[in-house]
Amino acid sequence: MKKYTRVIFVCLLSIIMIVSQTKTAAGQNLPETKVPPTKITGKRHATLRKYFLSVDDITDDFDQPIEKILMDLLPGPYKTGCKEMVNLWGPKAKGTSALLPRGIYMNTMPDSVIHIFLAYTCYSSAQGFGDHYYDERLALLTIERTASTFSMLPFSAQCTQCSELSRIGLSEDTLQIADMPVISIVSSISNDNPCCNGSRTLEERYRYYYKLDNHSVTPVASLLDYRKESGHLENGTDSIAEYSATRWLEFDKTGNISKIVSNYTETVTNQPTKAGIITLIWNRKRQAFDKEGK
């Protein structure tokens, strides 16, 4: 069984925002809507359990019956949001939206409980868009003996004035916290979106860590790895604000992560503006991380 560790680092950015911002509207990327978990029973549960018990590892592509069930489970706002987003990409893309689920990670826990992390990809089937423009959202499928549960895992609160597109991938493995596996998910974000033109460009990379318990999954930390924002100033010059972090882990004698340390720097147009160290220390009594530093 694979083991994963994941610690969420929320590194607050204090970069000076001196670039002009372009106003955006709802529908320019997929929603981050929180919806109640869906309970799955009967034939659909039996089909999912039989399939995932039969595979040794997760796959990007699913058999058609499984793909259909996973698509049926995706909440309506995400399906509608995909159509709205692609329709804003111009006449060539209008009406060409498509959605596909893909597997990111699977772990079979004791009692044959299976946790499956999924990414739903919204894209356009029109020529010229392909792999370059798409947006993804994270979901969790937990399969137990008598029923399954499906949940969306939003990274942040719903934003109605955002156009950034995200790409989701698995990061670290073979780590653990409190003797339980932890998974690390990376979300790479860019405002390179065919819906919008503007002088401001943005790239970000975040890590999200989830601890896998026998019957549940718990977010334990989030962390900003990298951010680069550029724009034009009123005097006609360009400005580039950048944040970068180097991260390392410390372990206790049983192999659990005891501490996460992030050494970060901030620059504006290649001139250092701030540097610091942020430390996350695992608190065994609270079963959570205590944050030190700034």
Q: Using one digit for the tens of pLDDT, what is the confidence trace for 37-75? A: 999 999 999 999 999 999 988 988 899 999 999 999 999
| CB 247, CB 226: distance < 8 Å | no
| CB 122, CB 134: distance < 8 Å | yes
Q: Please state the pTM of the whole predicted model.
A: 0.86
Q: Residue 97: CB partners within 8 Å, gap ≥ 6?
A: 82, 83, 85, 86, 87, 122, 123, 124, 125
Q: Is the pLDDT of residue 236 over 90?
A: no
Structure tokens at 110: 């004791």
DSSP state of 36: P
The HSE-up count of residue 280 (CA atoms within 13 Å, CB side) is 23
Q: Using one digit for the tens of pLDDT, what is the confidence trace for 260-290? A: 999 999 999 889 999 999 999 999 998 889 9
Q: Residue 111: CB partners within 8 Å, gap ≥ 6?
A: 144, 145, 214
- ∠ Cα 187 190 194 (to 5°): 130
Q: Would you call 145 exposed, middle or buried from its count of C-beta atoms within 10 A (0-12, 13-18, 19+)?
A: exposed
Query: Other CB atoms closer than 10 Å to residue 221's CB: what's the count?
Result: 25
Structure tokens at 46: 């039996």
Structure tokens at 138: 């994270």
Residue boundaries of the structural domains of the chain: 1-24+163-294, 28-160
User: For a pLDDT cut of 90, what percent of the chain falls above it?
Assistant: 71
Q: Using one digit for the tens of pLDDT, what is the confidence trace for 90-137? A: 999 999 999 999 999 999 998 899 999 999 999 999 998 877 999 999
Q: Using one digit for the tens of pLDDT, what is the confidence trace for 196-215? A: 877 789 999 999 989 999 99
Structure tokens at 95: 């009406």
SS3 content of the chain, % helix, strand, coil (to 5): 15, 45, 40
Q: What is the Cα gyration radius of the chain?
A: 20
Query: Other CB atoms closer than 10 Å to residue 41's CB: what's the count?
Result: 10
Report how far residue 155's alpha carbon sits from residue 100's, in angstroms, rounded to the nearest whole number: 19
Report how far residue 87's alpha carbon sits from residue 177's, in angstroms, rounded to the nearest whole number: 43
List the one residue out of 90, 121, 128, 123 whose CA is nearest residue 104.
121
